[in-house]
Structure 1
Amino acid sequence: MILPPEFFIKRILDAEYVTHVETLQSLWSGYGHISRYAVKVKDRYFHVILKAIDSSSSQAHPRGWQSDLAHQRKVHSYEVETNWYQNWANGCVNVARVPHCLGVLQQSDMVFLLLEDLDEKGFDHRHTQLDLSQAVAVLQWLAIFHAHYISLDPNESWPVGLWPQGTYWHLGTRPNEWQAMTASPLKDAAKTINNTLRQARYQTLVHGDAKVANFCFAADASSVAAVDFQYVGRGIGVQDVAYFLGSCLSELVLEQHLDYLLDQYFSELSRCLIATGESSDMAEAVAQEWFELFPVAWADFHRFIMGWCPTHAKNTQFSQRLTAQALVMLSF
């Protein structure tokens, strides 16, 4: 018997009462929902967020990409997110802000993730497009996150319980989208692009889905928190940076300000690496490698777009030019 969410929340928090306030959103392809609950614990009233995941239930993919492989990828993504919140998230909260995990319950095909409500912690603003200062706040969060999880040993076996290769678009989990691409140098280069990113000397954890919708902003946009860690795993920082910039800034803004935005990210990354005890030479080496691989990271996502939905608005001339730059670098 599947117990109601209120029972789980009450038991985890030792709450006197729990009541559903609102359903915030449905999960992609019908895998569950995210809801806000009001609770009372002793004399304190507050809200919590419940992410209810049903891996047995999915609807048709919005763009027609429904398959057993897609279903298994999605199911595993929620297993990864559960591992993130159980074993990793609370150690990250005071470094790069993410929700505290208050509890996890699994019942049959259902998983309930109980999280703090970031709105009550001052991160109550959401955006679909950003100005430069808002974008810089997210880039700083990414730099802090990437510096915190940097691995300087290429032979290190990690991260346990997360994706061995982060990002939702990486080639290993997108063979159908690759097959759907029309013949092109980009299609021919797909494996080389993937291997180049995987074989980079300096690896870290990447968020894996760092679009603007997955960041919660303070009122003055000076600080942000991140949510939705289904595709967190091993990678290089500019994979998150490339995907984020393409999610929230227009082609014109990117044309005019890309150098400035990358400088903001790499300056913060270097500062954070040095603050953790790394030498300035090491910080410079990481920044140099990732800066050189930025076009390759961009081309990797562009490869996904060209198979998944080549008419998508993200297939811009700016994106095509950066991808062409990567192909020249890789001699395609």
Structure 2
Amino acid sequence: MLEAFMSPEIFIKRSLAADSVVRADIIQSLWSGYGEIVRYQVAAQSLSGSSVILKTIRLDQVMAHPRGWQSERSHQRKLTSYRVEAHWYANWSDQVKRLARIPICYAVHQTDDLIYILLEDMDEAGFPRRYGHLEWEACLPILDWLANFHSRFIGVKSTPDNGLWPRGTYWHLATRPDEWQAMVDGELKDSASRIDEILSQARFQTLLHGDAKVANFCFSELGDQVAAVDFQYIGRGVGVQDVAYFLGSCLDEASLTEHLSYLLEYYYAELARCLVAQGESADLASEVCVEWRSLFDIAWADFHRFILGWSPTHAKNTAFSQMVTARALALLRSS
């Protein structure tokens, strides 16, 4: 039984029965000062490599939100997100690692004020590349990953009782009333509840990564394989919510305009293939794809609603995003 507090080095040494543990380098600090992600050099017979990653979350040391949204609501959302991530790695991640690559979780430790998540070093595992933007062809491995991940969890029940978010993504309406209130009055603001309802009541639900931006994927040297990290907002939803957010995170407007249709059809085809490979019928796979195809613009508009409330001058508020959102609103008016 581990005591309530211990240093990172002691936690790693005990978790891996390591002979030595040395802090190497900080990979990044966490948003709003909640902690840090650090690489440690480790000598341990239980470890195939020589380094690990420790995500340390200090729930008692929080600085101001970078965009001025610090509040008790946002703080509680963050606390929940880190506990969800710890629960995902400790209790769910083994269900997907053979289908969609994620870091091996070696150990998790939680107290009221501290969380340690000890993970495989994806650089050492053969995924050393990170990107902020992609050419359209480079999106295909991530769409493969998403299709495999979403197919694995079709029909899953996601509730606080099983430790995940009842609704995946960090921007869904129930967690963002302040950002909704800050929106300029208009059709999108008026339609926010209906958009949210359409997504939450879709027939086919799965687990969403919830923050599937390109920065949360690690690429192999050749770029043909990927692994995903950062599962703070994993929960129930419609697969195209992850897809819309991912494509918007890495492609410029010209690439989206020219290649979006192909990329979506690629995802749907891979999703159908994965569902059938996992034992679902071809008819069900087709029905999932038909429904999710019809919801892509709605999913895009849902994130655009968040952006317009959270930071309307953000670079993601593009003409392309406005166009897709307008399509979604037209669809609502006609239904």
TM-score by length of 2: 0.96
The letter of the residue matching 1:317 is A
Q: Which residue of the partner structure matches residue 29 of structure 1?
A: 32
- Return the alpha-carbon distance in structure 2 between the equivalents of residues 253 and 87 of structure 1: 38
Task: Give the corresponding residue for 1:195.
Answer: 197
Q: Quick check: 1:119 aligned with 2:123?
A: yes
**Aligned-partner residue type, residue 312 of structure 2:** P
What SS class does the counterpart of residue 123 from structure 2 fall into? helix
Note the C-alpha offset of 1:157: 6.2
Q: 1:20 aligns with which of 20, 23, 26?
A: 23
- Cα deviation, 1:275-322, whole Å, max 9, x if unaligned, reads 111111111100000000000000000000000011111111111111
Alignment: residue pair count: 329
Aligned partner of 2:7 in structure 1 is 4
Retained in 1: the 8 A contact 2:158–2:236?
Answer: no
Contact 2:158 2:235 in 1 (8 A): no
State which of 247, 261, 264 in structure 1 corresponds to 2:263: 261
Pick closer, same or farther for the CA change 1:125–1:11 going to 2, 3 Å.
same
Q: CA deviation at 1:158?
A: 4.9
Residues in 1 aligned to 2:64 and 2:79: alpha-carbon distance in whole angstroms: 15
Distance (whole Å) between structure 2 residues aligned to residue 272 and residue 42 of structure 1: 36
Q: Percent identity?
A: 57
- The residue that corresponds to 2:310 in the other structure is 308
Q: Are 1:38 and 1:45, in contact at CA under 8 Å, matched by a contact in 2?
A: no
Distance 2:59 2:93 in 1: 22
Q: Which deviations, in whole Å up to 9, do the C-alpha atoms of 1:242-274 show, x marking residues without a partner?
A: 000000000110000000100110110000001
Residue in 2 that maps onto 1:296: 298
Unaligned 5+ residue runs, structure 1? none
Normalised by the length of structure 1, the TM-score is 0.97
For residue 45 of structure 1, report the CA deviation from its aligned partner. Answer: 5.4
**Residue in 1 aligned with 2:57?**
53
SS at match of 2:295: helix
Match of 2:87 in 1: 83
CA distance 1:97–1:157, shift in 2 (3 Å): closer
Q: How many Å separate the matches in 2 of 1:163 and 1:266?
A: 25
Structure 1 SS opposite 2:53: strand
5+ residue gaps, structure 2, are none
Q: What SS does the corresponding residue of 1:25 show, helix, strand or coil? A: strand
Question: Paired residue for 1:148?
Answer: 152
Structure 1 residue 107: deviation in Å?
Answer: 3.5
Q: Moved runs in structure 1, 4+ residues, more than 3 A? A: 42-45, 156-159
Q: Distance in 1 between matches of 2:221 and 2:234?
A: 27
Name 1:72's counterpart in structure 2.
76
Cα distance in 2 for partners of 1:81, 1:2 equals: 20
- Rounded to whole Å, the distance in 2 between the matches of 1:204 and 1:314 is 26
Q: In structure 2, what is the Cα distance between the partners aligned to 1:234 and 1:192? A: 18
Report the equivalent of 2:254: 252
Offset at 1:51? 0.2
Q: Aligned to 1:167, what secondary structure does the other structure show?
A: coil
Q: Give the whole-Å Cα distance in 2 for the aligned partners of 1:108 and 1:78.
A: 12
CA RMSD, 1 decimal: 1.4
| SS, match of residue 78 in structure 1 | helix
CA contact (8 A) 2:52 2:119 kept: yes
